[in-house]
Structure 1
């Protein structure tokens, strides 16, 4: 079994079971991002491989946006590489690297997982949204009938938008620093959920759940992705940033007495989905 090295802090994760060294038979998986120092998928996936006694290893690969197509093209040519995970900021661009897309990925226009098929083609899917919704539900937070505000219509945000509407959210307002991108997303969603999604310039003051789906919060000196003034006291502030576990946004929301929901559950709830997608026994 492959033993994986991960430079991030995984002190809160169970230890990876001991196994044999990486061999010539080890299957490869990669997670692509820029940056990648914060990614926790290698720790979780390598633990899954170990516990499942699968001879495989996932490694982090830092890729600049300008190099994404070249890097993915090269990875696809590695015969013993079976899958790729995709993180910030490549999820939208990586969609074009898939030969086949799931319904959710096609609707979102974004992928966070690519799988090599037996015929050599590559299938793409996006589990961010389903992982996010599962995380909320596991924490006892309702989705159906709630008003959501989404800040950030990037690769993860589009998947979350699709998932919360599929789960029965009554309304979704979308705010993005690139307003046409928010308008385009709202238009795609309106074809499936008429009257429930709209682009907005500011947060809906009646929001029950506000989601930060931007990268703001990865760095200690990042500004808040949005202001908290005017939100109802019952509102829940959700962040998809996983490291740090408690972002400045979540700290300030908690200090105001608002409910908070951290980013890590979105990933941990995706592990069973990755297991099925990558056909891990």
Structure 2
């Protein structure tokens, strides 16, 4: 038998990229290199690969803690965060965090392990750690999908991030059945965010011009600053506006982040006589980064 002694080309690229590596590639393209969760057989390869790449891997004692830490990460960074739960009880444990992300508009991408479909659909099967997760979760997220085939990986991960970050932010859920874990893909380099979604979302020119006109005519404007001011890193812009128009800054209960340089004109909403007087006497409210929720407005 003929033996080929030619050494392998060290620069040759592998024939395929495993799905779990591609998932990390897609999140890295978004600048995300932290994950929260407890690994199970579906995710052990992904967790080990994330550590090898230098990711920060946070594995708490309970999945709910992982979800809440991911929610906090979105507040700190203004970016999506990744939380991973084991199939069955792991995802059930994450439900409190998923609900929190829904009401707090936090763009956390939750990924849940699941049995291979051939196992899930058997007439006789063991029941350990099995529940149909999507029906339990889909009403609590902006987007829900399952990676049923390996070549869906890019479109589902991107759609989850796109939907979570579009308009009012919110959570998404991606199911990761076991039969796709080690499948390989022939894919190009992951696209940067601006190549597949809007990364700068703002008001159209007519609405901006209308707001400028209203501000110019106002005699006693106030700025109502919500948590979105902090997550969008817009504190400096709010400071400049407040000083330019001489307006006090009233903070919502979710918008108590500190803006250096305007402490003398910043007040909590509803817990300060000064802020109450400012609101009563105002003729224009400039609401920034807030939903104008019913408790305070």
* Structure with greater Cα Rg: 2
TM-score (norm 2): 0.28
TM-score (norm 1): 0.29
More helix by share: 2
